[in-house]
Structure 1
Amino acid sequence: MARPALSPVGAGVLYFLILFACGVVLGTIRTLILAPTVGPVAAVALELPVMLGLSWIVAARLTRGRPALAGAGRRLVMGGLALILLLVAELALAALAFGQTPGAFLATLATPQGALGLAGQLGFGLIPWLQRVVARG
């Protein structure tokens, strides 16, 4: 049976939604359990490979067997849109759930754990494209 068509924009939105849901769950575990035990930097360092592994799996499942998502440019659109949506959602969550101003949110990115998390988010955005690069050898 053929897979339903999925545009780069649709794939980016779906990629974001799935990984954001995973991130909420893992972020809660990181914040409430890991960070108090091992510290914030180590907690992010433990969460990051899990999130990137999930990102790899989800991106592969979304793009497999979909010719509309085969090109490098289309995969960059997918990942780039997902990254933008993730950053906007995190900013909104910081403001609504934690009362942070945009400036305070941006300041957290300058901390070691924030910089590590941002690097992971950039990796998340690049994964759909990286999979194509790896597949082409």
Structure 2
Amino acid sequence: MSPGERTVAAARSALGVRFRLHGRDTEGLDCVGLAALALRAAGVGAPVPSGYALRSDNVARVVAMIEAAGLVAVTDARAGDLLLLRAGPGQLHFAIQTEDGVIHADAMLRRVVERSALPWPVLGRWRPEGD
């Protein structure tokens, strides 16, 4: 199984887990917790920030954290990619690319869901180096 396939499988294993801000386990996840869970399955030891607000617009800080975890920016879409999205004014969001959509921790639906359509602009995409 490739790192991307492991990432998607781990994200899918969290479908239905309730949304919880700063959640880091299957008792509750936010988008950062879901990304960390999925990337760990691919062998990426992503640093997991805490203490952040639901709204943040510090793109440079987030990109630095992603790249410090050993992920590289890419332009082609592939299942398992980590996506950084603009979910609203002043709000950044992570999702995991799937074969035909994304998996993310949806604050409005209060759980981890898989969607076939992406309702937000993609600011960037990353994957483990060499994947």
Q: TM-score range by the shorter chain?
A: 0.3 to 0.5
Greater C-alpha Rg: 1
Greater share of helix residues, 1 or 2?
A: 1
